[in-house]
Structure formats: structure tokens, C-alpha cells
Amino acid sequence: MKKPTIIVTGGAGFIGSHTVVELNQSGFRPVIVDNFSNSEPFILDRIAELCGEKIESYTIDCTKEEDFERVFSNEKPDGVIHFAAFKAVGESVNEPLKYYHNNIGSLVVLLNLMEKHGVRNLVFSSSCTVYGQPHQVPVTESSPAKNSQSPYGFTKVVCEQMINDVHESGSHLSAVLLRYFNPIGAHPSGKLGELPRGIPNNLVPYITQTAAGLRSSLTIHGNDYSTSDGTCIRDYIHVVDLAQAHIAALNWITKSEEATVEVFNVGTGNGNSVLEVVNTFQDVADQSLNYSIGPRRSGDVEQIWASTEKAEKILGWRPSLSLKDALRDAWNWQQKLK
């Protein structure tokens, strides 16, 4: 039987690469579309090693409709998982037009091509940033999603609205909007992981780079928040669990008889403070980490974690890996990078 073909935009990126491997192992035929603006070509070789076969890939910018058209014409996909987007909150504040052009523009192109080629099923990479600073935690899918505090977060709000608008227009589009919390970790093999360009924007790669001696120290931004230890709280989910959520979403939407759009939180349902993450890493790596407390960082949300009940009930998905697992795998990846 022919395997369903799934285009994966940003398929060589951190979450995309892990999802491509899970797709391959779950009976799908993934096709990677990536311009390597936030990844490296050697990741394609690593994906091939883990899959036991070469995965078809196109080096294409998703905002270029003529180029992207070629992928649809050649591959005749059964669905799309759309990761391709810029994602640094701080950078988006300084370069908002870059984020609006890429994150919103690429989705406009994609939805046009899906309509033109009769491709119905979409899994969209959204973010918990759409919630901004929530009034209460854990956050459910019905929590207000208009409070985004950065241009990056606002692009996710606009993209979600765009998908809903296309669906409501009478299109046959069916979409699952996955609102990620904080993906961390790496593939347990150590062959795939997070590859930040320059100074990391995210906590865990900064921790592992500091432990590896690539950074002199880690600065924790604020310890005077209204939390148990004064540091910000987030919901950290292992990237492999997150990748498997995409398989569950794809399986569910493929079986759906009517066109639909559904939103799901993808997290662990637990919050961990920055200091908890640092201390857990020190235990896992069996070494001390050089860190200091600095001032609060503009735009940081005090605390947020997910309610995952909807994903468990409807998608039949729940995370199985712990914070320790994620930090162990991230450290293994960092060491093998050397």
C-alpha cells in the first residue's frame, strides 16, 4: 500500500527533524522543505541514518510560491505539517517586518497551494505565546488567545486566524493547530537536537553550552517573580513527545470525515522554574553550572503551563518523557556535537 506523503516545511529544524523521523517510523512518507536559515544540511544525513533511508528534500524558501509549487506538483502530497517560521521573541521585537513577511507570508503561499492542489489536511505549528501572560494556570485551549506580547507571538495569532478564516470561507481545509509550550531535549541517539545560531535564545541550549565551556556563564533573568523560588515557570516538553503529538494529530485529522479546525495544547501539564531546570541539569550531568542572577528580561511571562486534557481525550496523546530525560538527551547531544 502506498504510504501517505506529508510535506514537512522546516523539516530540517529542531522540531521538524524529530517529526520527520517519527513520521517515517509511523508509516508515512515525509518530504522535507527547508531553506536552512535555522538548520544545517548535515541534519539531512542524520535523519537518513535514523530512518534507514534517504528522505526526499527540497531547499526552498516557503515564501517563494513558484518554487514551492514545484514541490506540490512533484510530490502530490496527502497533507502538510507547517513548521517553517522564525521564532526568536527578542529578535521579532527588533525586526518585526522580517517576522511578518516570513511567518505570515509563508502560510499565505502554503494555503494557496493546498487549495490549488486539493490538499486538505494541515497540522500547524503554533505556540503558547498566543496566550501572553495568562490570568490563570494551567492554560486551557479556551483561554484568551489575543494577549501575545511580541511580534513573533502575534504572527501565530494571525496565522491561526487565517487558517480559521480559510476554513470558514467554504474551503475543504482541515487543520490541527498545535500550541507548543517549551520544547527541549534531543533524540536519544544523540544524532538530532537543537542547533541555535549564535547565542541561544532558549534556556536549555544555553545551559548545555555553558556546561560544555562554550559560554562563560548562564544568566537567570530575574528571581523576584511571584513563584516558589522567584524564577519564571514554564512547561518543558521533550521534543520526541512533541514530535509524536504531530503523528497523533495527523492520524486524527485524516480520519475526520468533515472539514474541521481544532486547537490543542502540547505540553506536559506541569510547570518547572528556571532554577529547577538548572538544578535538575546539574544532577543529570553530575557537574555544577556557572550561573548568576540578572535583571528581569522585557516581555518574559511570569508563569505558564498547559492543561493537556483535550489532547489526551481527543488525540489519544500524552507525553511519556520526563524533565530529566530531556536534559539528559540535550546534554548527550551537546557532547556529541563537540
pLDDT of amino acid 44: 98
| Range 310-320 average pLDDT | 97
Write down the catalytic residue from 58, 99, 131, 152: 152
Task: Indicate if the pLDDT at residue 182 is higher than 80.
Answer: yes
At 1 the pLDDT is 81
Residues ≥6 apart with Cβ < 8 Å to 66: none
Q: How many CA atoms lie within 13 A of 208 on its CB side?
A: 26
**pTM greater than 0.85 (yes/no):** yes
Of 100, 16, 118, 14, residue with least CA distance to 57 = 16
Question: Which amino acid belongs to residue 4?
Answer: P
Interval 67-84: pLDDT, tens: 999 999 999 999 999 999
HEC assignment per residue over 208-223: HHHHCCCCCCEEEECC
Residue 190 clears pLDDT 90, i.e. is over it: yes
152 catalytic? Reply is yes
Residue 50: per-residue pLDDT = 98
Please determine, for residue 145, whether its predicted confidence score (pLDDT) is greater than 80.
no
Beta bridge partners of 291: 218
Cα–Cα distance between 237 and 33 in angstroms, integer?
Answer: 25
Question: CB burial class (10 A; 0-12, 13-18, 19+) of residue 170?
Answer: exposed
- Lowest mean pLDDT: which of 20-29, 52-61, 292-301? 292-301
Give the containing element (helix H, strand E) for 5: strand 5-9
Alpha-helical segments (H) within the chain? 14-25, 42-51, 65-75, 89-94, 96-99, 105-117, 151-168, 203-211, 239-255, 274-285, 309-310, 323-337
